[in-house]
Amino acid sequence: QVQLQQWGAGLLKPSETLSLTCAVYGGSFTDYYWIWIRQPPGKGLEWIGEINHSGSTNFHRPLKSRVTLSVDTSKNQFSLKMSSVTAADTAVYFCARGRNSNGSGTYYKGYYFYYMDIWGEGTTVTVSS
């Protein structure tokens, strides 16, 4: 049973750097994209970006200049850093596993077809002075 466990600082001041880590337990680290998503209070889901085991990344363009993603394959962990946070970055941050195949051979598609099949429990990050 694959599980994602995430952690990081929950209270930040404006201009500080958000830092979150997600650990992958019980499954392969190399066959997937590892994704960060956030959800502001009372609002919907927003894709932040993603990284694979070799360090290939893609980002939501409005956030790209402030976001850094990294992986530690020796620990099966991936991390998110977001610089210069403001109150607008207050949200629950989720890590998730992205895949484009179902493992049984009935569904296998390209990069644009990734879906998130396993999610972390979420970390509430509040930015306040």
Partner 1 sequence: QSVLTQPPSVSGAPGQRVTISCTGGSSNLGTGYDVHWYQQVAGTAPKLLIYGNNHRPSGVPDRISGSKSGTSASLAISGLQAEDEAHYYCQSYDSLSGSRVFGGGTKLTVL
Residues that bind partner 1 (CB under 8 A): 35, 44-47, 50, 58, 60-61, 94, 102, 106-107, 109, 112-122
User: In this structure, are residues 67 and 80 in contact, taking their beta carbons and an 8 Å threshold?
Assistant: yes
Length of the chain: 129
What's the token pair of residue 82?
A: 């977001």
Please, which residue, 50 or 89, has the CB nearer to partner 1? 50
Question: Quick one: CA dihedral 6, 94, 8, 124, positive or negative?
Answer: negative
Q: How far apart are CA 112 and CA 50, in angstroms?
A: 12
Please, which residue, 16 or 119, has the CB nearer to partner 1? 119
Please, which residue, 47 or 81, has the CB nearer to partner 1? 47
The nearest distance, CB 14 to partner 1, in angstroms, is: 26
The bridge status of strand 3-8 relative to strand 57-59 is unpaired
The nearest distance, CB 89 to partner 1, in angstroms, is: 17
Please, which residue, 13 or 61, has the CB nearer to partner 1? 61
Long-range contacts, stretch 61-70, CB < 8 angstroms, 24+ apart: 69/36
The nearest distance, CB 22 to partner 1, in angstroms, is: 12
